[in-house]
Structure 1
């Protein structure tokens, strides 16, 4: 049997444009109906995992910015996928940081900066291997060593400098009550970030309860009598100004026009202390110096180092060693002057 078809017996051919979500449109651009289909850039799955890490990890805001910057720099250095990375690649990257990367001033990175970059990488890959073992089962950063950095000395303030700080507070205007309370809290060893998170309910009239700390371990901080009274007066003053105080209200508030009455930020604390330093004639005064001063004073007073570590919230023996070194040196100097019958020279 034979079949024959006329010229018009076939149905007309209908062109059906491919949806731009198909694989074809992701790799090639075609002109359809006189228009050029847009091609979306492929998503870098490596950066997606970095973003997930930054969201899911308990990282403080400043550390989060540093981690994001360093992980972005690493992904710009290599196109290898995570499962392709080996310890030698991370070793080459460390060499790159040491030899090729420069600061804005054109100088090589310091050992501390290199260690910060490595810390970001080590934290990320530790999280990645635990969260996605099917993607990457071995942490490629394990064999990468930190640069050896000498233990920095404690940046404690002298008794004379502390006196200058207390005197400078008297020259403040609108922020006097707030900043006096702030300095009293800082002088009990709290980190600036810990103060930011404190609510009114954290103060019971004697102690400060820190639920959210850098080490993720809650701690209680006993306050001196003068500090308890100063903090209580500050809170009473805020009520007198018409503020409705609740246990969830921020313990320390901002006086900035755009944030008045809101929680004092991390940068707000630094700015307040910097201003006090200018009035006290102490260049580059920063909040962490009060923490160093508190830790050193505890040891000079004879407080057991284990108790001092608990009060300051230190976990690292190495980090705490700077304070024991300072206190041992101060004790030795005091012993010398006692032995020769002279007063210690400040």
Structure 2
């Protein structure tokens, strides 16, 4: 039976006692509910995280890639399949004209290239891994800025002598750090050394299954370096450590990580300490790699063989070392031509 509006009971308004106390409570409850609501995760960033996990990146490279990809996603709201070369060209202009350093200076060409290289690497990966999401790489037509090739940061013979002398001043870490410098002086990157296990060393060669170029590499060691490394492992075994093929080749002496795998930052800290003792300002692991590559060419090793030993994929990047060897050869040829001894 349908009721008329007049037949409905009257609405009664009930006064809210202590409303000054109750209303703020209700407001706080509503605010609490709102606080629990977070913005949905950007699906594009999930792919970036997957990319970072799937690549064997050194810590510094990972940090750079993460920073540059985050900056790019903050610049555009477009999804990956909506991007085209024109957008990447505009982004490069944005980096060049609008982005400033902490000192409020424009980005250098090298910094712009680092940002573009991070994008190129990511889009190459996502096009290969998820062709259903993006079929065409929008970075293919984007060129890097032209910058002069930086000179090799090689150590001189005199500086290397100071490094070997500094190792003798070390205490607890002397044997480990001596072995570390011997390995570094064969051109290995710090990130590659972190991954080495006892099984990576067969008594003569170091085997690197995972490298920056994603190609395995064999590194032959000099006899004195082989002896130092074998003695280092022997001493650890004598001290009671059970070594097997998966045991880290280099271990930490830090109080919080005693006996664990020596980290990337641990290698940098050890080399920095050696540099202080040797009186070499800002000594870093990569300088040993530069020294090794330069020395190979000065010894007359074929550049293609030298690149294989160092694991350089780019012939252009390796050019900095050939410039030094060519200059040395030209100087020697000049003195031979005029009949003087180069040492005079």
TM over 0.5: yes
> For the residues of structure 1 that align with 2:38 and 2:276, how far apart are their CA atoms?
53
> For the residues of structure 2 that align with 1:66 and 1:296, how far apart are their CA atoms?
27
Map of 1:290 onto structure 2: 288
1:139-185 deviation per Cα after TM superposition (whole angstroms, max 9, x unaligned): 22222111111111111111111111111111111111111111111
> For the residues of structure 1 that align with 2:49 and 2:332, how far apart are their CA atoms?
53
1:302-345 deviation per Cα after TM superposition (whole angstroms, max 9, x unaligned): 11222111111122111111111111111222233344423437
- Alpha-carbon distance change, 298 to 307 in structure 1, aligned in 2, over 3 angstroms: same
Map of 2:81 onto structure 1: 83
Within-5 A mapping of 1:63-212: 63-212=61-210
Measure how far apart 1:35 and its partner are: 5.8
User: Does the alignment pair 1:59 with 2:40?
Assistant: no
Map of 1:333 onto structure 2: 331
TM-score w.r.t. length of structure 2: 0.86
Map of 1:217 onto structure 2: 215
Moved more, 122-131 or 279-288: 122-131
> For the residues of structure 2 that align with 1:190 and 1:134, how far apart are their CA atoms?
38
> For the residues of structure 1 that align with 2:330 and 2:279, how far apart are their CA atoms?
29
Equivalent residues of 1:212, 1:218 under 8 A apart: yes
Q: CA RMSD in A?
A: 2.1
Measure how far apart 1:126 and its partner are: 2.0
> For the residues of structure 2 that align with 1:137 and 1:219, how far apart are their CA atoms?
32
Unaligned runs of 5+ in 2: 5-25
- Alpha-carbon distance change, 84 to 177 in structure 1, aligned in 2, over 3 angstroms: same
> For the residues of structure 2 that align with 1:67 and 1:49, how far apart are their CA atoms?
13
Measure how far apart 1:40 and its partner are: 4.2
1:176-223 deviation per Cα after TM superposition (whole angstroms, max 9, x unaligned): 111111111111111111111000111111111111111111121111
User: Does the alignment pair 1:342 with 2:325?
Assistant: no
- Alpha-carbon distance change, 79 to 247 in structure 1, aligned in 2, over 3 angstroms: same
> For the residues of structure 2 that align with 1:71 and 1:197, how far apart are their CA atoms?
26
> How many pairs were matched up?
318
> For the residues of structure 1 that align with 2:99 and 2:135, how far apart are their CA atoms?
30
1:4-31 deviation per Cα after TM superposition (whole angstroms, max 9, x unaligned): 4457xxxxxxxxxxxxxxxxxxxxxxx9
Moved more, 248-257 or 37-46: 37-46
Considering fraction of residues, name the structure with more helix: 2
Map of 1:266 onto structure 2: 264
1:62-96 deviation per Cα after TM superposition (whole angstroms, max 9, x unaligned): 32221111111111112222232222221111111
Within-5 A mapping of 1:305-316: 305-316=303-314
Map of 1:25 onto structure 2: none
> For the residues of structure 1 that align with 2:149 and 2:164, how far apart are their CA atoms?
30
Structure 2 SS opposite 1:122: helix
Measure how far apart 1:43 and its partner are: 3.0
- Alpha-carbon distance change, 212 to 118 in structure 1, aligned in 2, over 3 angstroms: same
Equivalent residues of 1:188, 1:291 under 8 A apart: yes
Measure how far apart 1:106 and its partner are: 2.1
> For the residues of structure 2 that align with 1:324 and 1:275, how far apart are their CA atoms?
30
Unaligned runs of 5+ in 1: 8-30
> For the residues of structure 1 that align with 2:54 and 2:304, how far apart are their CA atoms?
32
